[in-house]
Chains A and B, each alone.
Chain A
Amino acid sequence: MTDEQPVVVVIDDDLSVREAIQGLLETADLRVELFASPQDYLKSKRWDVPGCIILDVRLPGSSGLDFQRELVGTGNHTPIIFLTGYADTPMTVQAMKAGAVEFLTKPYRDQALIEAVLGAIEKDRARRGSKRALADLRQRLDSLTERERQVMALTVAGQQNKQIAGTIGIRDVTVRVHRRQLMRKMGVKSVAELVRIADLLRSEGIDV
């Protein structure tokens, strides 16, 4: 998993800037893909590897912020490092809110860019990891039977076995079997762990 070669995407209409960034990032042994416009990038294939996008705020046709929104809309959560000619606080705030990882003013320090890129890649790697974990949890959740999900929901809600049994209308001992079963399926050792996973899933919009 960690040996995946990350890809840094540079979208800038200015050749000088594109080439310069490519040259710099290559010194950090990074793979760099250059695009003159967001459209070119969207038309290209997707790399299912960790990475980041370096984007000029000022882009022909649409602003970098619009493009950022567009990517998020399509489920692309690749971290974005914005480059800008000038520091504009409202613009920075908006970009950061929308999930930008960095906002660099041209001309940037080389180290700042490299660090930002590496940081973004790590973040992406982590994001990708948690995304995968979540997908695993989801899968586990989906493997639960109807009764097991019922018991899980009530357990997470803080009910004791007896109470659950009362609520559902089954025997106490049956509840205990279901619980042992679902905890095995969800890969947790304790109720506390189950509650945490449930919260995580809920935070991802998954109905537990």
Chain B
Amino acid sequence: MSNQTLYSLLATPTALPIATIALVIGVFILDTFTDVEVAVGVLYLPVMLVAARVFKRRGIVLVALGCAALTLLGHVLSPGNSWSTTAILDRLLGLAALGFTTYLVAKNRSAEEALAERVQLLDLTHDSVFVRDAKDIITYWNRGAQELYGWTQVEALGKVTHNLLHTIFPEPLEQINATLLRTGRWDGELVHSQRDGTRVVVASRWSVQRDQQGRPIGTLETNNDITERKRAEEYLQRQATLLDQTHDAIIVWKFPGAIIYWNRGAERLYGYTAEEAAGRSSHELLRTEHPMPAELFEATVERDETWLGELRHTTRDGRKLVVDSRHVLVRAPDGQRLVIETNRDVTERRRAEEALRRSEAHLAQAQALSKTGSFSWVPNAGPTEEQLYVSDEWFRIRGYDRRIPVTPKVIFERLHPDDRERVQEIFNRTLAEGRGFDIEFRLALPDGSVKYLHSIARALTDANRLEIIGAVMDITATKRAMEQLQHAQAELARITRLTTMGQLAASIAHEINQPLTGVVTNAHTALHWLDAEHLDLDKTRTAAERIVRDGQRASDVIGRIRGMMTKSTPQVAKVDINGAIDEVLALTETELRMHSVVVFTELARALAPVSGDRVQLQQVILNLVLNAIDAMASFSDRPRVLRIGSQLQTDGEVLVSVRDSGPGLDPGTAEKVFSPFFTTKEKGIGIGLSICRSIVEAHGGRLWTEPGAPHGAIFQFTMPTEASGGA
């Protein structure tokens, strides 16, 4: 306590006591050795006032007693009429004034001292504490304030606080003062400037100091430097804001236990608000599905202090999520272990990855099933880009192991030697012209097998970058099937032809029998005339000539038939359609005659040859002629007329038409007649026209029927020629 007082005394300016002593001495001299008739003793009052500022109560009383003693001493020593009534009254008045002043000063001082004593305690704290009077002049400035602001007590005392500290108020000062006066307290944050101009943020607490009458005499201001805290808070705020900004869910929970932090991301992801999440167990709240038992999981986190992996969570609305999770175990300053759990929703990514994986699997499957490989080729690929990419199926088609690198050698190696040059040429052209291609070629595989491939590619040009993307399909099976189909069709055509010829069997037999009959009969005749009995060489010759003629005729018939009946493999050659028609008419001559059908031919002269199989084309014509005969068999009240014609179409195609004078086709069945197994005949199997159509179409032509006028039906077909671009 005494130390404190001493310190307090020492802290006061030393000039004042000296001035006081000088003043006392000056007054005493003036009072004693001058004979001024005025009340010089009054001048001790200022001494008291000064002393009041310097000394404590006891000091003030001592100074007052000293001054009183000096007043009395001055009176005794002063020359003149010091005992005059006036002089005595003057002294008494002076003493009274001194005494009264001393009383007031001392009283005031003791109040101040009480305050100062309280204030001194404040030096002990780290807080900065200062006191300012009603005019905001600093009257107390503790060590904390000195440390905080850089101003020493000496520098600070007597200054107006707000000027010294350049205070920035959070609200108008008047308002603060109003609050202060009303409640006696004010709390708030202020910004002060330190001596070096640095700004500090302080938590400021003001309390009003009042005198005994309750009048405010000053304000005690306690300021805590919260700049750091503020900064940290702001930092944390910013951090928190940042954490809120991220899409990741960030959850902090006490290990093991309650959630204490739940960012906006977590709110968004899981649907629980921070308030709802707080205090809950993260695992329970989110129904976490750990990759291992929960206890083991926690043990792992505890041991490793970190864990990375995928978890499954359930949101508030019941959706299942897959999250990429990171658990970090940290120790807070207070020793509390916290887990910072950062979760990123990867559900969509997983889904997309799964979809991509599935899509790739599907593609691979589709490629495998359809035997279609794909490739892309960037001829001028940069160093980071693959020049050639080929799919697994591409390798499989070529019979390569997937792992070998794709090189031009690999591409061209297994091409069929006959196709290599052509493919190479197409590749070169593709490269030169930046165009796609559509080719068929063969592979010759080491095991000796041959594959047929169909490759289609498109060129994608994008700012000097050429990329060729394509697919290559193994069409071997298709090709084989097509060959087999063609073979089967040819065989079917042949069988149908035989069936058709079977219809002609009676006619054919007759046609062969006739000349044979002639031959045999003429031979007998010749033999007869050679008999010596009635030798007649002329008649013998006549008979022999007839034998030759009839034999030739039989041979011709057989030749025609054999042509129609033997071969099955189509042989494509140039066919004179008129010649083919003539032959069919020759073949059916008997049949036509037997049915009393009159034939008119209208064949265009100098017709360009068509390309095709003569026998198959004749089969078509034969079928149409026989159908026409059948169609006209049912009536005899009007002439049976068959008109068969050929003509050149404007598009260069040849049109062959066979029209009859029969009852014609029912419009409903006109198209059905081309369907297999459709027949209007009692004995027909209904395959003839169907085969005819497939033969014609295989030749690139069309076969159709139209009603004839005034009656009958027209069956006609077209055949492409070189002129029409078909042959």
Q: Does A20 lie within 8 Å of B594, measured CB to CB?
A: no
Measured CA separation A110–B506 after assembly (Å): 24
Q: B497-538 interface mask toward A, CB cutoff 8 Å, 1 = contact, 0 = none?
A: 000000000100110011111111110110011000010000
Q: Does B517 lie within 8 Å of A23, measured CB to CB?
A: no
With A85-B506, A110-B521, A110-B525 as contacts: A19 and B546 at CB distance below 8 Å:
yes
- B261 CB, min distance to chain A CBs, angstroms: 112
* Choice from A23, A24, A60, A85 contacting B513 with Cβ under 8 Å: A85
Identify which of residues 10-34 in chain A touch chain B, using a CB-to-CB cut-off of 8 Å. 13-14, 16-17, 19-21, 23-24, 26-27
CB-defined contacts of A24 to chain B, threshold 8 Å: 521-522, 524-525, 528
CB-defined contacts of A26 to chain B, threshold 8 Å: 525, 539
Whether A90 is near chain B, meaning CB under 8 Å from some CB there, is no
Q: Does B543 lie within 8 Å of A16, measured CB to CB?
A: no
Measured CA separation A21–B550 after assembly (Å): 13
- Which residue of B514, B522, B543, B550 has the most chain A CB atoms within 10 A of its CB atom? B514
Whether A106 is near chain B, meaning CB under 8 Å from some CB there, is yes
- B399 CB, min distance to chain A CBs, angstroms: 63
Q: Does A110 lie within 8 Å of B524, measured CB to CB?
A: yes
Q: Does A106 lie within 8 Å of B525, measured CB to CB?
A: no
Closest to B536 in A: A27
Whether A58 is near chain B, meaning CB under 8 Å from some CB there, is yes
- Which residue of A19, A26, A61 has the most chain B CB atoms within 10 A of its CB atom? A19
Closest to B509 in A: A85
CB-defined contacts of A108 to chain B, threshold 8 Å: 517, 520-521
With A16-B514, A20-B546 as contacts: A107 and B509 at CB distance below 8 Å:
no
Q: Does B521 lie within 8 Å of A58, measured CB to CB?
A: no
Whether A86 is near chain B, meaning CB under 8 Å from some CB there, is yes
Identify which of residues 547-567 in chain B touch chain A, using a CB-to-CB cut-off of 8 Å. 549-550, 553
Q: Does A107 lie within 8 Å of B519, measured CB to CB?
A: yes
Identify which of residues 92-132 in chain A touch chain B, using a CB-to-CB cut-off of 8 Å. 106-108, 110, 113
Measured CA separation A61–B594 after assembly (Å): 6
- A115 CB, min distance to chain B CBs, angstroms: 13
Measured CA separation A16–B556 after assembly (Å): 15
Q: Does B593 lie within 8 Å of A17, measured CB to CB?
A: no
Give the contact-size bracket for chain B.
20 to 34
Q: Does B539 lie within 8 Å of A23, measured CB to CB?
A: yes
CB-defined contacts of B549 to chain A, threshold 8 Å: 16
Q: Does A60 lie within 8 Å of B522, measured CB to CB?
A: no
* Choice from A27, A83, A85 contacting B528 with Cβ under 8 Å: A27
CB-defined contacts of A14 to chain B, threshold 8 Å: 514, 518
Q: Does B506 lie within 8 Å of A61, measured CB to CB?
A: no
Chain B interface helix/strand/loop/mixed:
helix
Measured CA separation A13–B507 after assembly (Å): 14
Measured CA separation A61–B636 after assembly (Å): 10
CB-defined contacts of A19 to chain B, threshold 8 Å: 518, 522, 546
Measured CA separation A110–B520 after assembly (Å): 8
With A106-B513, A107-B517, A108-B517 as contacts: A16 and B596 at CB distance below 8 Å:
no
CB-defined contacts of A60 to chain B, threshold 8 Å: 593-594, 596
Identify which of residues 450-494 in chain B touch chain A, using a CB-to-CB cut-off of 8 Å. none
CB-defined contacts of B509 to chain A, threshold 8 Å: 85-86
Q: Does B517 lie within 8 Å of A106, measured CB to CB?
A: yes
Closest to A25 in B: B525
Measured CA separation A181–B550 after assembly (Å): 67
Q: A38-71 interface mask toward B, CB cutoff 8 Å, 1 = contact, 0 = none?
A: 0000000000000000000010110000000000
Measured CA separation A170–B519 after assembly (Å): 75
* Choice from B506, B513, B543 contacting A107 with Cβ under 8 Å: B513
Whether B542 is near chain A, meaning CB under 8 Å from some CB there, is yes
Measured CA separation A193–B675 after assembly (Å): 76
Interface size on A, residues (CB 8 A): 22
CB-defined contacts of A86 to chain B, threshold 8 Å: 506, 509
Measured CA separation A111–B521 after assembly (Å): 10
Q: Does A17 lie within 8 Å of B518, measured CB to CB?
A: yes
Q: Does B519 lie within 8 Å of A61, measured CB to CB?
A: no
- B137 CB, min distance to chain A CBs, angstroms: 154
- Which residue of A14, A26, A61 has the most chain B CB atoms within 10 A of its CB atom? A14
CB-defined contacts of B514 to chain A, threshold 8 Å: 14, 16-17, 106
* Choice from B517, B524, B539 contacting A16 with Cβ under 8 Å: B517
Q: Does A13 lie within 8 Å of B517, measured CB to CB?
A: no
CB-defined contacts of A83 to chain B, threshold 8 Å: 517
CB-defined contacts of B517 to chain A, threshold 8 Å: 16-17, 20, 83, 106-108
With A16-B515, A16-B517, A61-B596 as contacts: A27 and B546 at CB distance below 8 Å:
no
Q: Does A107 lie within 8 Å of B510, measured CB to CB?
A: no
Q: Does B521 lie within 8 Å of A107, measured CB to CB?
A: yes
- B527 CB, min distance to chain A CBs, angstroms: 8
Closest to A110 in B: B524
Measured CA separation A139–B7 after assembly (Å): 200
CB-defined contacts of B524 to chain A, threshold 8 Å: 24, 27, 110
CB-defined contacts of B542 to chain A, threshold 8 Å: 23
Measured CA separation A75–B510 after assembly (Å): 31
- B558 CB, min distance to chain A CBs, angstroms: 15
Q: Does A58 lie within 8 Å of B594, measured CB to CB?
A: yes
Q: Does B521 lie within 8 Å of A20, measured CB to CB?
A: yes
Q: Does B518 lie within 8 Å of A16, measured CB to CB?
A: yes
CB-defined contacts of A61 to chain B, threshold 8 Å: 596
* Choice from A13, A16, A20 contacting B593 with Cβ under 8 Å: A13
Closest to B527 in A: A110
Closest to B525 in A: A23
Measured CA separation A13–B593 after assembly (Å): 9
Q: Does B525 lie within 8 Å of A27, measured CB to CB?
A: yes
With A16-B517, A17-B518, A108-B517 as contacts: A23 and B546 at CB distance below 8 Å:
yes
CB-defined contacts of A13 to chain B, threshold 8 Å: 593
CB-defined contacts of A110 to chain B, threshold 8 Å: 520-521, 524-525, 528
Closest to B596 in A: A61
Closest to A29 in B: B534
CB-defined contacts of B510 to chain A, threshold 8 Å: 58, 85
Measured CA separation A23–B509 after assembly (Å): 23
Closest to A104 in B: B517
Measured CA separation A17–B596 after assembly (Å): 20
Closest to A12 in B: B514
Measured CA separation A20–B522 after assembly (Å): 5
Closest to B520 in A: A107
Q: Does A23 lie within 8 Å of B522, measured CB to CB?
A: yes
Measured CA separation A106–B513 after assembly (Å): 7
Q: Does A27 lie within 8 Å of B529, measured CB to CB?
A: yes
Measured CA separation A124–B199 after assembly (Å): 160
Closest to B521 in A: A20
Measured CA separation A60–B589 after assembly (Å): 11
Q: A143-171 interface mask toward B, CB cutoff 8 Å, 1 = contact, 0 = none?
A: 00000000000000000000000000000
- B250 CB, min distance to chain A CBs, angstroms: 106
CB-defined contacts of A23 to chain B, threshold 8 Å: 521-522, 525, 539, 542-543, 546
Measured CA separation A24–B547 after assembly (Å): 13
Measured CA separation A66–B546 after assembly (Å): 31
Closest to B518 in A: A16
Q: Does B525 lie within 8 Å of A20, measured CB to CB?
A: yes
Closest to A83 in B: B517
Identify which of residues 19-40 in chain B touch chain A, using a CB-to-CB cut-off of 8 Å. none
CB-defined contacts of A106 to chain B, threshold 8 Å: 513-514, 516-517
- Which residue of A13, A20, A110 has the most chain B CB atoms within 10 A of its CB atom? A20
CB-defined contacts of B539 to chain A, threshold 8 Å: 23, 26
15 example contacts (A-B, Cβ-Cβ < 8 A) are as follows A14-B518, A16-B515, A20-B525, A23-B522, A24-B525, A24-B528, A27-B529, A58-B510, A86-B509, A107-B516, A107-B519, A108-B517, A110-B520, A110-B524, A113-B521
Additional 11 contacts, C-beta under 8 A, given A16-B546, A106-B513? A16-B549, A16-B550, A17-B514, A19-B518, A20-B550, A21-B521, A27-B525, A58-B594, A85-B513, A86-B506, A86-B509
**Chain B residues at the A interface, C-beta cutoff of 8 Å:** 506, 509-510, 513-522, 524-525, 528-529, 534, 539, 542-543, 546, 549-550, 553, 593-594, 596
Which 6 A-B pairs rank lowest in CB-CB distance, beginning with the nearest? A16-B518, A110-B524, A20-B521, A23-B525, A27-B528, A107-B520
